[in-house]
Structures are given as structure tokens and as C-alpha cells.
Structure 1
Amino acid sequence: MSIYQHFRPEERDFINQVMNWKAYVEEVYAPKLTDFLDPREQQIVKMIIGQQMEVKWEFFGGSVYTERKRALLYPEYYLSEDSDYKINLYEIQYPKKFISLSHRDVLGSLMSLGLRREKFGDIVIVGDRMQFYCAEEVGEYVRLQLQTVGRANIQLLEQPLTEGIAYEDLWHETAVSVSSLRLDAVIASIFKLSRQKAQSLISSQLVKVNWTTIENTSFECGTGDTISVRGFGRGKLFSIEGKTKKEKWRISVGRQK
């Protein structure tokens, strides 16, 4: 039985990477630190590594609130510490009285530095405070190169991880019935849109499932999928409860508050 049959075709490359990480720990008998992983990638790591004794895994993204985390795979003898994850935290100082900045502004400016998204963890905005986590190995480069965000000149203040802004990831959860588990049907139910509107958003490349752009309206959603729609926010398929007497799928979905 192939391990790939339990996952989607587009996840094959990441699965191979996880198996290579596992093999490294087994052969070298030393820990392996990854870049930042999104929640779906973290789930894949858990499923592949499992609960075996030879290789252990833990995740840390800088605080207990973070969504994106680095994984540490290590042999059974190893005792991990937060410092093993090599994460820097930066707070963005900008003229708050005159300019408003968004998550998109920060992410766009970070991506303009020529680094991969995987080198950055969460971008946290609470009120007018803005922070982001990044991999220690690129921290000094980011600190020197990031001088503007959006239209604002900024300064970066490195903070200890204990100073990370606390925030809550709140979801409004509800149970709905859908004719199928197709992406367009699930989007329509979560965001209260017509099926036609959902299809238009997908074909316009405005929809991501588990942080990957999906253009196929018939893409089948599964338990745990996070769905983001540009301009509408994020939703999640928490569980699939089964079919009703009318052959509709009963699902539990959430929309981020």
C-alpha cells in the first residue's frame, strides 16, 4: 500500500521532503529543523512520522498562539528547547497617527526581499501593533533590508519571544448541508455566496485551500481544510458528519471572526 494514496496528488513533493527529513534523523541520529510550515503541512508531518519511538516531532512558531510553526524532528534521546527552533520576533515601528498598514502590506514587503514565504512565521496585528516571526538565519538580512512597508518608512525592533502579542483565532462554527464536497459548493455555504459567484472566484485564482491556490471548481474538500477567499476572509471545514436522507452532505464549517 502506497503512502501517497492517503494524500492529495499536489502534496506528493512535500511528503517526499518529510520522508527525507525522517531518514536524516534516523541515519545521522541528530535533530532536523525545518522552515515554517502551515497547519496542513504540520498535519502531514504528524501523519507520516506518527508516534514511533525512533523519530519524535514537535512544533513551535514563537508563541502558543502562532499558526505557522517550524518543526523539529529529533531522535528519542534529545530534549528540545524553544531556542532550538531559531526564531526571531520583530515589531514594526511606523508613524501610526498618519498611516494604516495591513497584513497584506507587511507580507508584500517581506516577499519583496527575495526570500521564500517559508522563512517567515505569523504576521500578528492587534490594534496598531504589528509583529512578525522569521527564521533566525535570515533575521539580520531582514532587519537591514526591510525599510518600508506599504507607503510607510519603518524601523524594526527585535523583541524577545516572550513579548509576542497575544491574539485569539476565533471562528464562528455552524452546521450546514451541501449537495457535494466540491470546493465551489463548500465556499458558497461558508461565505453565503451563490454557486456561480464561488465558481467565478475560483477561476479568477482568488481561492486557496491549505495555502495553495486552487483553480479547479470540482476540487473535493476534506476534513481540516482551511479555505481563504480574497476579499471574503477565511473559512474551515471542521468535520464531515455524513449524508442526510436527501443525499446531501452534512458538514461543520467555520468562518473566521
Structure 2
Amino acid sequence: MSIYQHFRPEEKEFIDQASGIVEQVKGTYAPKLMGFLDPREQFILSSIVGKDSEVILAFFGGGDGVERKRALLYPDYYSPEEADYQIALYKIRYPKKFLTLEHRQILGTLMSLGIQREKFGDILINDESVQFVAAKEIDSYLAVNLEKIGNSSVTIEPIPLTSILVPKEQWQEETHTVSSLRLDAVLSTGLNQSRQKVQTLIKAGKVKVNFKVTENVSAECRESDVLSVRGFGRVKIISIDGKTKKDKYRLTLGMKK
């Protein structure tokens, strides 16, 4: 059975990339560090490595509770250390009296610098501080080029990983039944919104499935999928628990505002 059958067609490129890296580690008998992966990519990579005795897989994203993490694949003789992940943590200094920074503004600015998404980890915000995680290899580039967010001047300060903010968000589990596993049906139930409202959001490009935008209202949802809706939060399909006597699907969903 092909591994592609277990995943979505649009994930084939990442599967091929990850499979190639696994084979590279086997062939060279040397460790290989990947960029920051979202939770879905971490799941796919873990599935590819499986119980392969020739390759060990570990993740680290800078601290507890972070979402995006770098993957380190290595042979059994190797003993990895935190420094092997090449992760840097930065604090953003900005005029707090006149400006409130939001996640989308910071990410948009970082991406506008022409650096790939895999070079950035989590963006962490609380009332006192704004931080972001990045790959150490772009440290000098960030120091020179990250001078503004929007119209406001900012500076970044490297700080120890021990100072990383701990995300407070937790998944709240709920049990639901849905008539089908279509994206619009699952989101309508999970968000307690009308199906028409959800379809409008999907068609407007405001919905992501596993961190990728989709406009397909009838896309079939699967176990472990993460559905993100701009302005509403996230819904995670923790498990599909069979069907009811009325032929509806019973789901355990995780909710995060």
C-alpha cells in the first residue's frame, strides 16, 4: 500500500521531501536538521519514519507548548543536544504606548523580508512582551533588515530560550455528531455557525485545512485535521468515533479560540 493513500494529494510534495531526507540520513549515517514544521507536517514526518530502526526523529521549537518545531533526524549512535536545533529567540522592542502588535502583522513583516516560512517558528504575544522564534542561520539577515512593522520602527533583541513565553491556549474537547465529514458540515457544527455562513468563509479564503488555505466547501475531513477559521479560532478533529444509529458521524473535536 502506498503511503500517499494515507494523506491528502496536496501533501505529496512534502511527503517526497521528507522521504528523501530519511533516506539521506540512512545513506550518510549522519544527522539532518529540517526547518520549522507545522503540526501536520510533524505528524506526516513521524508517520514516514515510523518504527524505522535506522533513523531516530526528534522535534524542538524553543520551549514548552510551541506549535512549530524543527525536526532533527539522526542515526542511533548520535546524541543530540539543544544547540543542534539551531534555534534563536528574539524579543521585539516597539513603542507600546502607540502600537499594538498582532500575530498577522509580525508574520506578514517577516515573510515580506523574502525568507521562507520554514525559517520561522512560533510568534508569542502576551501583555508584557512580543517574541518570535527563528532559525539561527538567518540571525544576521534579521538584524539588518527587520527595522519596521507596519509604519512603526522596531528593534529585535536576541534573548535566551529560557525566557520564552509559554502559550496559554489549550484545546477544549467537545463531542459532536455531524451528518457528513464535509468541511462545511464539520465547521458549522464545531463553530456553532450556519452552514451558509461557513461556506461563505471558506469561499472567501478565510479557512485553512492543516495550515493550507482551501476554498473547497466539500473537502472531506479526516482524523487529526486542524481547521483554522480567521476570526473564529481553530477546530481539531481529535477522533472519529464511528456512527450513531441515525447514521451520523460521532466526532471528538478540540476547540481553540
Give the TM-score taking structure 1 as reference length: 0.97
Cα-to-partner distance string for 1:47-84 (whole Å, 9 max, x where unaligned): 11012210110000011221100000001100011100
Question: Aligned partner of 2:82: which letter?
Answer: D
**Cα distance in 1 between the residues matched to 2:46 and 2:230:** 29
Instruction: Detail structure 1 runs of 4+ shifted over 6 Å in the superposition.
Output: none
1:171–1:255: 8 Å Cα contact kept in structure 2?
yes
Cα-to-partner distance string for 1:176-218 (whole Å, 9 max, x where unaligned): 1110010001111111111111111111111101111111111
How does 1:27-42 map onto structure 2 within 5 Å?
27-42=27-42
* Matched residue, 1:150: 150
Is it true that 1:101 corresponds to 2:101 in the alignment? yes
Is it true that 1:121 corresponds to 2:121 in the alignment? yes
* Matched residue, 1:51: 51
Is it true that 1:182 corresponds to 2:198 in the alignment? no
Is it true that 1:10 corresponds to 2:10 in the alignment? yes
Instruction: Give 1:228 deviation, angstroms.
Output: 0.7
**Cα distance in 2 between the residues matched to 1:65 and 1:55:** 25
**Cα distance in 2 between the residues matched to 1:102 and 1:204:** 21
Q: Using the aligned pairs only, state the percent identity.
A: 52
* Matched residue, 2:21: 21
Give the TM-score taking structure 2 as reference length: 0.97
Question: Aligned partner of 1:209: which letter?
Answer: V
Is it true that 1:202 corresponds to 2:202 in the alignment? yes
Question: Aligned partner of 2:127: which letter?
Answer: G
* Matched residue, 2:81: 81
2:124–2:130: 8 Å Cα contact kept in structure 1?
yes
**Cα distance in 2 between the residues matched to 1:101 and 1:9:** 36
**Cα distance in 2 between the residues matched to 1:12 and 1:144:** 36
**Cα distance in 2 between the residues matched to 1:213 and 1:139:** 29
Count of aligned pairs:
257
1:101–1:150: 8 Å Cα contact kept in structure 2?
no
**Cα distance in 1 between the residues matched to 2:67 and 2:114:** 23
Question: Aligned partner of 2:164: which letter?
Answer: G
**Cα distance in 1 between the residues matched to 2:124 and 2:167:** 8
Instruction: Give 1:152 deviation, angstroms.
Output: 2.1
In the alignment, structure 2 segments of 5+ residues that lack a partner are: none
* Matched residue, 2:140: 140
* Matched residue, 1:61: 61
* Matched residue, 1:246: 246
In the alignment, structure 1 segments of 5+ residues that lack a partner are: none
Instruction: Give 1:128 deviation, angstroms.
Output: 3.4
Is it true that 1:223 corresponds to 2:223 in the alignment? yes
2:237–2:251: 8 Å Cα contact kept in structure 1?
yes
* Matched residue, 1:72: 72
**Cα distance in 2 between the residues matched to 1:176 and 1:255:** 12
2:66–2:166: 8 Å Cα contact kept in structure 1?
no
Cα-to-partner distance string for 1:205-245 (whole Å, 9 max, x where unaligned): 11101111111111111111111111212221111111111
**Cα distance in 2 between the residues matched to 1:57 and 1:190:** 33
- The CA RMSD measured in Å over matched residues stands at 1.0
In structure 2, the residue corresponding to 1:196 is in which secondary structure?
A: helix
Cα-to-partner distance string for 1:90-116 (whole Å, 9 max, x where unaligned): 000111122111111111110110111
**Cα distance in 2 between the residues matched to 1:176 and 1:87:** 39
Instruction: Give 1:159 deviation, angstroms.
Output: 0.5
Cα-to-partner distance string for 1:161-184 (whole Å, 9 max, x where unaligned): 111112223122211111001000
**Cα distance in 2 between the residues matched to 1:104 and 1:15:** 28
In structure 2, the residue corresponding to 1:158 is in which secondary structure?
A: strand
